[in-house]
Structure 1
């Protein structure tokens, strides 16, 4: 941020990994960070006095998702570069006129000697690291600079507290104190106002509200939490966007029950629309009934196989890509509750005749 370089990639050698020291799922969580005696950061001359000084190293603490490679952040983890704008020790603006400008919070600053300086305030332009910043001297070694004090305060304590801050734009809307129906209404209203792809995906939020609200009303009437969760699931699954979801641990038992049984074969769809068995489990129900690899699956429980697949709502919903949805429909069309007992399957082996068999649902 010192040089406003939005493509800056944090070098691995300058990264220090902290440790979460409490239950991550209990807010607020705590962490610890052990600093090196001398860091491997970039020295920046930030006093803007026209003279060349050794400069200081400026660090922020941030919670960051590590998706790729080893425990350190690489370019892909950093979204191409820049600086953390959420869950960091600094407050970063998301206003259009001051986008990504730091306006508060705390920095960790390392000075290699006692001759270096650092801003003591934001100056008249209300921006940091610009020519009009007032300047103060800082001691050698590590200091925590509190940008929320006027002038900025220097903390040299052995174990300073540095909070990670959640910007208002990143905070979750808490509907937990609302009724089932009021929470649903608020959620739909939020989608209407903030969902970016409404027109692209041709989503009619009013129509969805009309379709699903009766289920939330029924759950409220019966004080039925499980019915509420299932209504929420089906509403969210109806949105064609992989990025929409919720905590499915709430329905883990439903998933295990609804998908516990299979028929001993899997199926895929060919370019000409045929549904064929692309896997037959040796010794499974389909194998015992004489089904062979490549068999065309004509019907399931008396219904055309394609119709059954079309009506299947996969447990891996929702989907942005219709092709992915179809693959998962093919998968979940063959998952059943164990108490289903049997499924009537009509199939035709390669070079053979149509056969109908009742296959046992097993796990």
Structure 2
């Protein structure tokens, strides 16, 4: 079962519009589809600012997974195929098959462990050629795990507002980060556990720090990095499975001998969204889990530098090329 996730750089980046467009496109191709979400998605009103949002309409023949509470009032519009209940799942979830189109609130698993468990269950019940579409969220870092998600659809907002503009630019830069070497990946995976947040290797590949605290609060890590800085450009490798904050980035900036490996591109978001600073960042940044991009959707509120868009990637302008508003 192929799994594709939808991520947006910001509020109002058009993530749900992109989700609906791809869903409609794949229905027209006659593909078997399964819909779910990380967190709750499909509301027509934004709970924060009261603005109107595009909802999600599930069509006959499509499968979906959502919390049972969101199906009240929809009796007769779907068949129940299975239920997933506590304690294995945080709340009762329903696998349904739509028989009559209706607007749906999607709420699926909210952790990587729960998503992996759900996928195991679904693979026994859903046709193997089915495609799972997940309305996701950039703050759910577990989605970057290739065992959970095969590729991403990205929605990018280019705004007149400087913070949002920087966030979009940083997001595209993070997509372009190259993967780490095979040797580095093997060294990291041989040592790290689910609790690992930082691994520091010396030039000979020996672990000199294994931290389980968030990297920006890990004083032992900071002390060992400080010793590296005093030695000049001593080669070292730092793996992070926690956010690269602005404070931590400033701490790492002068370490020219350091190769920084982020578990996935979402860990770069704090830097890209932060205030612009004259920061000469010397370490090379790589990814343990590289990003596979299916398509980029852009919402262009202001002109932008198109060279920021990755080469050889399909790009749709949500509101200028007919993608927006595609009906089913």
TM class, shorter-chain normalised?
under 0.3
What TM-score, normalized to structure 2? 0.25
More strand by share: 2
TM-score (norm 1): 0.24
Question: Using CA pairs below 8 Å that are at least 6 residues apart, which structure has the higher relative contact order?
Answer: 2
Q: Which structure is larger by alpha-carbon Rg, 1 or 2? A: 1
